[in-house]
């Protein structure tokens, strides 16, 4: 195999890993979180989800995605899960105990693909708890 073949192989492997990771991630539970921008337009974002202490939780692998910025501005969101749309109030949670619990729940649910994403992209996790509209967080 010449250097072109080696370059092709080296360039193809990360692409195949990325595609395989995406496909594997889409085979598990993926929800749509609907947020509103400043003009009132709805935006759906596909996310993984876990239930912890009676509440659904999602997380961002970066601190500044647009969907998280929209939540900071307008915390009222809609969650589309299993074809059912429910309104929630999103709360950003930053405690170390909650982060550990949600990371463990995500790994338990999504397995090796969650660990793989942790190695590739998950460095500054931001947690979002979804509280039923009109129901204050129970503590």
84 is a domain residue = yes
Check pLDDT > 70 for residue 78: yes
Number of domains in the chain: 1
Q: Which residue has the tokens 């337009």?
A: 41
Confidence of residue 139 (pLDDT cuts 50, 70, 90): very low
Domain that holds residue 111: 29-132
Decide if 64 is inside a domain.
yes
Q: Quote the pTM value.
A: 0.76
Whole-number pLDDT of residue 138 = 47
Decide if 111 is inside a domain.
Answer: yes
118 is a domain residue: yes
Task: Tell me: pLDDT of 110 over 70.
Answer: yes
In a domain, 75, yes or no: yes
Q: For 27-56, what is each residue's pLDDT tens digit?
A: 578 999 999 999 999 999 999 999 999 999
Instruction: Please state, in angstroms and rounded to a whole number, the distance separating the CA atoms of residues 56 and 12.
Output: 37
**Is residue 7 domain-resident?**
no
Backbone phi, then psi, for 126, in 5-degree steps? -115, 125
Alpha-helix residue ranges (DSSP H) falling in 47-136: 66-73, 96-110, 112-120
Q: Given this model, what pLDDT does residue 24 score?
A: 47
Does the residue 24 lie in any domain?
A: no
Q: What's the pLDDT score for residue 9?
A: 54
Task: Tell me how far the alpha carbon of residue 36 is from its chain's centroid.
Answer: 17
Distances (CA, A) of 59 to 12, 37, 84: 30, 19, 20
Reported as a single tens digit per residue, the pLDDT across 111-131 is 887 777 676 665 678 999 999
Q: Which helix (H) or strand (E) holds 21?
A: helix 3-26
* Residue 9 covered by a domain: no
Q: Decide: 137 and 93 in contact? Cβ < 8 Å.
A: no
Which CATH number covers residue 55? Answer: 2.30.110.10
């Amino acid at each position: 195999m010449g250097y072109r073949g080696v370059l092709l192989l080296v360039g193809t492997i990360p692409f195949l890993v990325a595609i395989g990771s995406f496909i594997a991630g889409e085979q598990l539970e993926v929800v749509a979180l609907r947020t509103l921008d400043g003009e009132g337009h709805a935006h759906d974002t596909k996310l993984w989800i876990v239930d912890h202490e009676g509440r659904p939780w999602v997380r961002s692998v970066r601190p500044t995605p647009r969907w998280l910025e929209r939540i900071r501005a307008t915390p009222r969101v809609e969650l589309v899960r299993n074809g059912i749309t429910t309104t929630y109030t999103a709360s950003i949670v930053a405690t170390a105990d909650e982060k550990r619990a949600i990371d463990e729940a995500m790994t338990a649910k999504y397995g090796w693909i969650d660990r793989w994403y942790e190695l590739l992209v998950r460095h500054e996790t931001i947690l979002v708890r979804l509280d039923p509209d009109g129901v204050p967080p129970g503590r």
